[in-house]
């Protein structure tokens, strides 16, 4: 075993470890302390248990793969003009675990969907069949979040109001608990409260 190769190995292990440690410190630990030290703001309000359940339905069905939750600055993109809301700030996400910022906009940003679409019926119907509302939409339908039943409604049942012809004739569509919870969560997505204007250190170099 040559001494030279031994030195190489030491150099390799020490170098590799210090490089990865450096990147952990800069990109994981520093953001942790920077965001941890900020006091918890009054807004947004913490999620209710129903909203939290809905959030897990959102995660389980991968809504994040098509919808972002991070409106950008008007200097970058016309997100605000599309009605997606003001640029978001770190404090908006203080209760989010896991974060759902997203990296795709196959569909629109949802950070303020509750403001654009405040109707529970619209959301339930849209989840059952998006193309009944936007003919060109490529959003998946979620029939497995609903029960299709025959006959008149039973007491206490929430029948989804749908555009005519969406459900088979003579049936009624009833939202399952997951669908209701998911809509609870979507209706909580309202980040229109005022915040301090983002500093120049925001992510817009």
Region of residue 167 (left: phi > 0; alpha: psi -120 to 50; beta: else): beta
Q: For residue 88, what is the DSSP state?
A: P
**Taking each helix axis from N to C terminus, what angle separates 177-186 and 49-60, rounded to the nearest 10 degrees?**
100
Shortest distance, position 86 Cβ to other proteins, whole Å: 11
Closer residue to other proteins, CB minimum distance, 19 or 161 = 19
Q: Match 């209710």 to its residue by tokens.
A: 48
Residue 85: Cβ within 10 Å count: 23
Shortest distance, position 3 Cβ to other proteins, whole Å: 10
Closer residue to other proteins, CB minimum distance, 65 or 154 = 65
CA–CA distance from 1 to each of 4, 6, 8, 9, 14 (Å)? Answer: 9, 7, 12, 11, 19
Shortest distance, position 152 Cβ to other proteins, whole Å: 25
Shortest distance, position 47 Cβ to other proteins, whole Å: 13
Cβ-count burial of 105 within 10 angstroms (0-12 exposed, 13-18 middle, 19+ buried)? Answer: middle
Closer residue to other proteins, CB minimum distance, 107 or 120 = 107
Closer residue to other proteins, CB minimum distance, 143 or 154 = 143
Please give the Cα distance from 28 to 202 (Å, whole number): 17
Closer residue to other proteins, CB minimum distance, 4 or 170 = 4
Shortest distance, position 75 Cβ to other proteins, whole Å: 9
């Amino acid at each position: 075993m040559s001494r030279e190769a031994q030195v190489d190995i030491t150099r390799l292990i020490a170098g590799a470890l210090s490089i990865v440690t450096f990147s952990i410190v800069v990109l994981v630990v520093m953001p942790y302390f920077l965001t941890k030290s900020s006091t918890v703001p009054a807004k947004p309000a913490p999620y209710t248990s129903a909203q939290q359940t809905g959030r897990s339905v959102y995660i389980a069905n991968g809504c994040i793969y098509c919808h972002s939750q991070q409106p950008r600055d008007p200097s970058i993109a016309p997100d605000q003009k599309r009605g997606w809301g003001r640029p978001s700030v770190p404090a908006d996400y203080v209760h989010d675990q896991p974060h759902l910022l997203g990296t795709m906009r196959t569909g629109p940003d949802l950070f303020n969907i509750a403001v654009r679409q405040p109707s529970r019926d619209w959301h339930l119907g849209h989840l059952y069949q998006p193309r009944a509302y936007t003919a060109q939409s490529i959003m998946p339908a979620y029939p497995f979040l609903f029960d299709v039943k025959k006959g008149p409604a039973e007491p206490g049942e929430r029948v989804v109001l749908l555009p005519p012809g969406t459900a088979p004739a003579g049936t009624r569509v009833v939202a399952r608990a997951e669908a209701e919870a998911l809509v609870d969560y979507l209706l909580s997505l309202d980040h229109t409260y005022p915040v301090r204007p983002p500093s120049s250190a925001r992510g817009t170099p």
